[in-house]
Amino acid sequence: MEVRDKLYINGAWVPSTGQGTLEVVNSTTEEVMGTVPEGTPEDVDAAARAAAAAFGDWSATSVEERSKLLGRVQEALAARMDEIATLISREVGMPMTLSGMIQVGLPLMSFATNAAQVLEFPFEEEVGNSLIVREPVGVVGAITPWNYPLHQICAKVAPALAAGCTVVLKPSEVAPLNAFILAEVFDEVGLPPGVFNLVTGVGPVVGEAIASHPLVDFVSFTGSTRAGKRVMALAAESVKRVALELGGKSANVILEDADFVKAIPAGVSACYLNSGQTCSALTRMLVPRSRLAEAEALAVTAAEAFTPGDPFEATSRLGPLVSKAQQDRVRSYIAKGIEEGAKLLTGGAEAPEGLETGFFVSPTVFSEVTNDMTIAREEIFGPVLSIIPYDTEEEAVAIANDTPYGLSGGVWAGTQEHAEAVARRLRTGQVEVNGGSFNPLAPFGGYKQSGIGRELGKYGLEEFLEVKAMQR
């Protein structure tokens, strides 16, 4: 049982001004594994004031100094890699075989890449008689989700600190314990007081207090589209800048000339990563009607190889969902798919055999899905794949783009040229072309209701900068 009874504000561990605590539940055993303080608006106010007071000195530090500090953070996190991976697998349910590489590897990369790129970034340029200067935006309010908890924190905090900003962080109350390790690391490496502040709590209280606080200059939010709209509305009251990374319903377009033996299993994996709890998951698989039966058979074989089980067992390829609420939500979508006439190929709403404890959902594949069905329109956030047949390439592109979202996508074709030509027609922030792997230096973010702004690489750093023109 991990009891965290203090917040990290102004370089010190302090009690919350409130009396409440929030329980953190192990997604595999359903047992309470820890508690954190239920923060208050008064806690946010103290954190925002500390961040505002620290901004002047921190923003004036040299890029070399900030780079060295980020490097020390990366080293300190790496030293605790096994501890962090184990903790996140308990919180979220990702199998340990992936947790170290993804749930800890990506945060390490965020600090390493920002430590390097801040030294090369063009903070000043001359345009005619003007000197164009890029300066830190100020106090950043970071509000992060539970599915890749430390990665989403570090994808905001590392570039914010590199840019010279100070931070008030609210991690997800569902998986907050890993954020305390990051705060310990900042304390250990000597980050000046007030530069990073941690306030745990629920979104309608702590999240809204951050988004509306007059001393917060910029809000970076990752989470549901519904919550993102609320953050944006609150930020608009004081005309704060926002970056929003929201939901997705990404299409994986398998073209007639694609290698189905490679494309279909890869597509199932791209849907099921982290038990489908991935905003950029390729949850709609578009296949030519002429090859639908072939695609169905390959998808079922691939899906049934995703063995559900304890994330600490080497044979498990699919861990539990993060919570009972999430399990109930995903099961209700599966039931809705059946009710609306989709063809259930494998899986279903029942718990996998022998896994009645833990928030497990069977790997599920539907076929003969039409793009107006609920399971094709709404983000499910579970291991549920919808196969949608199409008749022409033109129709496939139209179906792929017929969504309020635009976060990710995929295209498989017989040649790279064919795949890239179709990828250019998708209205989405990222496209995996013939199985191209995730690039943590490439911009990540969405079109339409998938969000505003970009994270990762130099594009992520730019989000935390303002632009000033000095005429000479």
Residues forming the active site:
245, 279
| Nearest of 454, 458, 459 to residue 245 by alpha carbon | 454
Q: Residue 81 burial (CB < 10 Å; 0-12/13-18/19+)?
A: middle
- Tokens read off for 7: 């917040």
Place of tokens 């709609």: 284
Cα–Cα distance, 150 to 297 (Å, whole number) = 37
Give Cα separations from 147 to 94, 279, 287, 307 (angstroms): 9, 9, 29, 20
Beta strands in 10-60 (DSSP E): 12-14, 21-25, 32-37
Cα–Cα distance, 74 to 164 (Å, whole number) = 17
Contact 231, 207 (CB under 8 A): yes
- Tokens read off for 86: 């184990």
Cα–Cα distance, 288 to 305 (Å, whole number) = 24
- Tokens read off for 102: 């993804």
Name the amino acid, one letter, at 131. Answer: L
What are residue 193's phi and psi, to 5 degrees?
-55, 140
Contact 227, 148 (CB under 8 A): no
Name the amino acid, one letter, at 156. Answer: K
Return contacts of 221-224, CB within 8 angstroms, 24+ apart. 221/142, 221/143, 221/245, 222/143, 222/144, 222/145, 222/152, 222/156, 222/246, 222/279, 223/143, 223/144, 223/145, 223/172, 224/379
Give Cα separations from 265 to 75, 316, 418 (angstroms): 36, 17, 20
CA dihedral sign, ordered 71, 72, 76, 79: positive
Cα–Cα distance, 413 to 459 (Å, whole number) = 29
Q: Which residues pair with 288 in a beta bridge?
A: 390
